[in-house]
Structure 1
Amino acid sequence: MSQARKCLAIVLAAGEGKRMRSSRPKVLHQVAGRSMLAHVLDAVAQAGADALAVVVGPGRDDVAAEVLREAPHAQVFVQAERLGTAHAVLAARAALAQGFDDCLVLFADTPLVRPETFAALRAKLAGGAGVAVLGFEPENPFGYGRLLTDASGALLAIREQKDASPEELRARRCNAGLMALDGRKALDWLSRVGNDNAQKEYYLPDVVEIARADGAACALVIAPAGEVLGVNDRAQLAQAEAEIQTRLRRAAMEKGATLIAPDTVFFSHDTVLGADVLVEPHVVFGPGVTVGDNVVIHAFSHLEGATLADAVTVGPYARLRPGANLAKAAKVGNFVEIKKSEIGEGAKVNHLTYIGDASVGARSNIGAGVITCNYDGFLKYRTEIGADAFVGSNCSLVAPVKIGDGALIGSGSVVTKDVAADSLAVARGKQMEKLGWAAAFREKMAALKARK
């Protein structure tokens, strides 16, 4: 494809999504930690779109905000009335009138279409077609518009299920909805679409017959059914999630990660894994996780917004929250939660511990049951633990507090003041012992129980 061809992508995002049964607009529901709309915007940008126009429904400031967050240069247009897909595209008339070479028409609730597929549609236009339609072959074509072709396989028309004859309904290839149009003629063709159909709507697929009447060639690109899945309800949202997780797992393994039980591991769209990473079963990656080389993530761990350097070990049953940064060879063990904290090189936080708003120096050891008390009900405070420090089990470090390099904190301490380097700090009540008290207590209580 010539690099000189300019492309406008029009994304239709005005659907109400009533079947989602949600106060959230359908296109803002997430797949792999990202809105369906954002997936589409990213894919079409990768396919080389020079300009983006997104059509939203009236009063949908939330959808418009998502558009501008993901694609600040995009134009947002409002479809005031819902009169069909061709009518929706014409809401972006001002963008169409700018005269691009290629015009891609996409749907924000079809989040799995690959950039390569959008590029294939554009390639058909570069090859001389006036219209290129994306199709697929479902196991059951019921409900889909049929792609009608002649004996040579050329696309003649797209017929909606409700308007198709019995003979046309026998066609196996179906319309995925997406298409590419000659940008110099798109506005004229779209303006000529009528509404003489069962729904009295202006259908985008009617452009095919209008273009053919003008002598333009109409081409087909066939994609796998899973790629063109449209999401209209929660069940289809789950299908889309399953499809994209399959892709992400395969990509992770192709890049050198080992997933012991791939079907139990869930990725975000932006998860980055280094080489020779080992991921045990039932691990979940939320958005914003970057993992270095030779990292081991044990079973049932949950990571989000975290950065793991090389040779780190995490879990099992660990939770890394946003801002958790683990340096090389750090260890975070079972039932440990890390939030907005730096764990230094070779440091160990192995058991039943919460580290929040803190820094732990290199080679320091944090014992079981340690808590950084970072919140007083109003504000958050930091705990700073130096290098080579040792914090005994069941200690509470009341922030703001600093533990110096090489300091040792005795088990069970509640530390409220800074501890100097290489010092021993013990902050707990004095142990008291009463000989024979326990035996006398048991005897007393047994007698009381017997009387009752």
Structure 2
Amino acid sequence: MVENSAPAAPLAIVVLAAGKGTRMKSDLHKVLHPIAGRPMLDHLLASAEELAPRTQVVVAGHGREQLEQALGARATIAVQEPQLGTGHAVQQAQGALAGFAGDVLILYGDVPFVRPETMRAMIARLHEADSPAVVVLGFEPADPLQYGRILAHDDGRIAMMVEYKDATEEQRACRLCNSGLMAVNSADLFDLLGRVTNDNAQGEYYLVDIVNVATLDGRTCAVIRTDDPDEVGGINSRGELAEAEGRWQARRRRQAMVDGVTLIAPDTVFFAWDTQLGRDVTVEPNVVFGPGVTVADNVVIHAFSHLEGATLESGVSIGPYARLRPGAVLKAGSRIGNFVEMKNAVLGEGAKANHLTYLGDATVGAGANIGAGTITCNYDGYFKHRTVIGERAFIGSNSALVAPVSIGADAIVAAGSAVTRDVADGELRLVRGEQLVKPGWADRFHDAMKKKKADAKKSG
């Protein structure tokens, strides 16, 4: 593949996403289905953003309202209705690109993992000395299936492109396949598209035919190749989505270990697209990272933990069976243990909550100890309220802290307390009903009940 830096010409990105995605059998637009917690379209646009495009156009049809909501101001939506082929789809971007002069990179919303390096190489080839009218990205899959074929000379000049349904058996024997991705100068693109016909087996306007039109004009068109067929693999079904997820996760696990993370059972750990892990982090089996997790050095994440939107500072330990929800922050050296859940809460340096606890909308001071079964009661049915626990405070097991409430530094809340008012620094708060003691009552009760049961059997 050609390796070069992108030229200074302005760049426009056109993403085709007008298909109905019927094989997905979903009400969600195909390109919005997530991989690693991120819509596949966003994976593609993030790579394209590295080339600093001047404008981005997404060609939509079915489900365009979903795309408009998902994209916001990041891209212009062009509508293709009806869908008359890929060439017709690109034509719909003409209005959005009015007045634009530069390079146009044509991508597909269901081909999410095209690398920025590949995009740059396509643009660079467009600016080589022979000034090709069109640059096509080709690949050689293990099984060419029904991909369109690229018939090219040894130097990469394209002699002809043909869709599988229109190809002869001799042409189908060619193993160089068309990914569909193209780079074209804006001055050429719509002129070539305007001369494409639908005289083919599908009765559609094929984008690939701009290559054949340019070739008939005597102009050069060129192919560059990716050495990774997975890079241009399309996703059209739930099965292909799962396969793409698997490939992404496998790459991310390998990279994590290269970066100094210990994965005890790599195949059981699932990362999100933006997971950040420090060095000497240990991740035990069956851990799931949702989006928005940052983990510092020397952290241990025990088995069966689930993290999302959380920040773990150095020396933290969590789990097993811990759940960190968005807004959870664990300061250096703190710990949460098995069956502890945190949401929108800060656990101070060296603080710990080792068992069966819920910390929601809370701030826990450094060195505090949260006993088993403690709950911060943060929701009154209408509003959320915050609990503040001071440094070195000790919260006894099975306590309910009814927010809004503050527990002072060095304070002690006795086990089984339901705290509804603030506790001062260094204070003991004990909130329990008076214990009633009746000696011998249980023995008399058991005797009476045994006799009653025996009498019932006799009468039955």
What TM bracket, shorter-length normalisation?
Answer: over 0.9
Residue 115 (structure 2) aligns with = 114
Alignment counterpart, residue 169 of structure 2, candidates 141, 163, 166: 166
Residues in 2 aligned to 1:192 and 1:293: alpha-carbon distance in whole angstroms: 59
Range 241-250 or range 20-29, more displaced = 241-250
Residues in 2 aligned to 1:448 and 1:255: alpha-carbon distance in whole angstroms: 71
Range 383-392 or range 209-218, more displaced = 209-218
Residue 310 (structure 1) aligns with = 314
Residue 98 (structure 1) aligns with = 99
Q: In 1, are the aligned partners of 2:157 and 2:220 still within 8 Å (CA)? A: no
Alignment counterpart, residue 333 of structure 2, candidates 329, 336, 347: 329
Off by >6 Å, runs of 4+ in structure 1: none
Residues in 1 aligned to 2:327 and 2:453: alpha-carbon distance in whole angstroms: 55
Residues in 2 aligned to 1:193 and 1:104: alpha-carbon distance in whole angstroms: 19
Shift, 1:95, TM fit: 4.1
Residues in 1 aligned to 2:191 and 2:276: alpha-carbon distance in whole angstroms: 45
Residue 203 (structure 2) aligns with = 200
Residue 448 (structure 1) aligns with = 452
Residue 298 (structure 1) aligns with = 302
**Residue 381, structure 1, aligned to residue 380, structure 2:** no
Shift, 1:158, TM fit: 2.4
**Residue 55, structure 1, aligned to residue 56, structure 2:** no
**Residue 14, structure 1, aligned to residue 18, structure 2:** yes
Alpha-carbon deviations, 1:27-79, whole Å to 9, x = none?
111111111111111111113433211111166222022222xxx35222111
Residue 82 (structure 2) aligns with = 81
Shift, 1:348, TM fit: 0.4
Alpha-carbon deviations, 1:186-214, whole Å to 9, x = none?
12112211111111111111122112222
Alpha-carbon distance change, 2 to 30 in structure 1, aligned in 2, over 3 angstroms:
closer
Q: In 2, are the aligned partners of 1:341 and 1:355 still within 8 Å (CA)? A: yes
Residues in 1 aligned to 2:118 and 2:368: alpha-carbon distance in whole angstroms: 51
Q: In 2, are the aligned partners of 1:135 and 1:223 still within 8 Å (CA)? A: no
Range 135-144 or range 284-293, more displaced = 135-144
Alpha-carbon distance change, 59 to 287 in structure 1, aligned in 2, over 3 angstroms:
closer
**Residue 220, structure 1, aligned to residue 224, structure 2:** yes
Alignment of 1:27-426 (within 5 A): 27-57=31-61, 60-68=64-72, 72-127=73-128, 128-150=131-153, 154-214=157-217, 215-426=219-430
SS of the residue corresponding to residue 169 of structure 2 reads coil
Alpha-carbon deviations, 1:361-420, whole Å to 9, x = none?
111000000001111111111111111100010001111111011100000111111111
Alpha-carbon distance change, 59 to 237 in structure 1, aligned in 2, over 3 angstroms:
closer
Give the residue type in structure 2 aligned to 1:448.
Answer: K
Alpha-carbon deviations, 1:294-350, whole Å to 9, x = none?
111111110001111111111111000001111111111110000011111111011
Residues in 2 aligned to 1:228 and 1:295: alpha-carbon distance in whole angstroms: 36
Give the residue type in structure 1 aligned to 2:93.
Answer: A
Q: In 1, are the aligned partners of 2:284 and 2:301 still within 8 Å (CA)? A: yes
Shift, 1:126, TM fit: 2.2
Shift, 1:98, TM fit: 3.2
Structure 1 unaligned blocks of 5 or more: none
Range 224-233 or range 123-132, more displaced = 123-132
Residues in 1 aligned to 2:333 and 2:7: alpha-carbon distance in whole angstroms: 46
Alpha-carbon distance change, 280 to 58 in structure 1, aligned in 2, over 3 angstroms:
closer
Q: In 2, are the aligned partners of 1:121 and 1:221 still within 8 Å (CA)? A: no
SS of the residue corresponding to residue 167 of structure 1 reads helix
Residues in 1 aligned to 2:384 and 2:6: alpha-carbon distance in whole angstroms: 55
Percent identity over paired residues: 53
Aligned residues: 449
Shift, 1:152, TM fit: 5.4
The Cα RMSD (Å) is 1.6
Shift, 1:97, TM fit: 4.3
Range 307-316 or range 214-223, more displaced = 214-223
Residue 4 (structure 1) aligns with = 8
Q: In 2, are the aligned partners of 1:146 and 1:169 still within 8 Å (CA)? A: yes
Give the residue type in structure 2 aligned to 1:26.
Answer: K
Range 272-281 or range 349-358, more displaced = 272-281
Residues in 2 aligned to 1:49 and 1:258: alpha-carbon distance in whole angstroms: 38
Shift, 1:222, TM fit: 2.4
Shift, 1:111, TM fit: 1.1
Alpha-carbon distance change, 188 to 195 in structure 1, aligned in 2, over 3 angstroms:
same
Residues in 2 aligned to 1:87 and 1:286: alpha-carbon distance in whole angstroms: 39
Q: In 2, are the aligned partners of 1:97 and 1:187 still within 8 Å (CA)? A: no
Give the residue type in structure 2 aligned to 1:195.
Answer: N
Give the residue type in structure 1 aligned to 2:363.
Answer: S
Residues in 2 aligned to 1:50 and 1:396: alpha-carbon distance in whole angstroms: 55
Residues in 2 aligned to 1:104 and 1:360: alpha-carbon distance in whole angstroms: 51
Residues in 2 aligned to 1:58 and 1:240: alpha-carbon distance in whole angstroms: 23
Give the residue type in structure 1 aligned to 2:216.
Answer: A
